[in-house]
Amino acid sequence: MPVFYGKEITSPLMLGTAQYPSPAILAEAFRASHAGIATVSLRREGGEGAAFHQLIRELNVAVLPNTAGCHGVKEAVTTAHMAREFFDTPWIKLEVIGDHDTLQPDVVALIEAARILCSEGFEVFPYCTEDLSICERLLDAGCKVLMPWGAPIGSGRGLNNIYGLKTLRAHYPDVPLVVDAGIGLPSHAAQAMELGYDAVLLNTAVAKAGDPVAMARAMALAIEAGALARAADPIEARDMASPSTPLMGMAVLA
């Protein structure tokens, strides 16, 4: 199971809490997913009030508040301070959005905000790209987890840059890595785990599915399968065929 900032999590699936048809379906989807972490937007909490907060508590999973919707350093840092006070946790999923259409991170502002928050005792989970130089600077800023995107948030496109994600995993074998955003199908989640990632964070793929509860269960099974496949040391892809049946002992025809 993944370990983030010294805390072992019960499942590699991290699930968001937005966009569900109803609070009851949200709770049922979480039970079906066996998710180890619930991500929560402070903005959403502000609109839902005490009832939503109580619902999150009843999920009985670790809570990771985020700075979703923030577009600058000051806004993200202020939101993180509010989240720490409200949720009583040093954890923060740090999002600083740079582009309105793709919701791609503003990596310059992200690094600066991460440096400030880490110096103030936050345990930062930065939503970033798979760029090695950016990730190195986030680690230098004090982050001990990296959360590169698979594809734009809510797009359901899966893993757009397999090479980049594989390179990041190889470059940082001991850093907890989470694929965050872009997951649309269970096969995408399984693929992330097969690459050796420690966890997958998703929301839209479950919340907006025709049957969120069934999709939550499917994601849980896919992540388990991907992790087992990685641990099993899968064969390497080949350009040529390799017969599975031995040639020795075959009949010799006259």
The confidence score (pLDDT) of residue 48 equals: 55
* Matching CATH number, 3-232, of 3.60.21.10, 3.20.20.70, 3.40.50.880, 3.40.50.460: 3.20.20.70
The answer on whether 204 is annotated among ligand-binding residues is yes
Residue 241 pLDDT grade (very low, low, confident, very high; cuts 50, 70, 90): confident
Examine the residue annotation and report whether 7 is marked as an active-site residue of this protein. no
Q: What is the pLDDT of residues 180-189, one digit of tens each?
A: 999 999 999 9
B/e letters for 207-235, b = 16+ CB within 10 Å, e = fewer, are bbbeebbebbbbbbebbbbbbeebeeeee
* DSSP per residue, 95-118: --B--TTT--B-HHHHHHHHHHHH
Q: Would you say residue 86 has pLDDT above 60?
A: yes
Q: Would you say residue 45 has pLDDT above 60?
A: no
| Active-site entry in 7, 93, 144, 208 | 93
Over residues 84-113, the mean pLDDT reads 93
Q: Would you say residue 221 has pLDDT above 80?
A: yes
> In this structure, what token pair is assigned to residue 28?
């049922």
The answer on whether 182 is annotated among ligand-binding residues is yes
The answer on whether 181 is annotated among ligand-binding residues is yes
> In this structure, what token pair is assigned to residue 246?
């031995």
Q: What is the pLDDT of residues 149-199, one digit of tens each?
A: 999 999 999 999 999 999 999 999 999 999 999 999 999 999 999 999 999
The answer on whether 189 is annotated among ligand-binding residues is no
Over residues 42-51, the mean pLDDT reads 60
> In this structure, what token pair is assigned to residue 2?
């993944």
Q: What is the pTM of this model?
A: 0.89
Contact 204, 221 (CB under 8 A): no
Q: What is the pLDDT of residues 100-110, one digit of tens each?
A: 888 899 999 99
The answer on whether 24 is annotated among ligand-binding residues is no
Q: What is the pLDDT of residues 17-39, one digit of tens each?
A: 999 999 999 999 999 999 999 99
Residue 251 pLDDT grade (very low, low, confident, very high; cuts 50, 70, 90): low
Distance CA(116)–CA(110), nearest Å, equals: 10
Distance CA(217)–CA(122), nearest Å, equals: 32
Percent with pLDDT over 70 in the chain:
93
E strand intervals along 152-198: 178-180
Q: How far is CA 207 from the centre of its chain?
A: 15
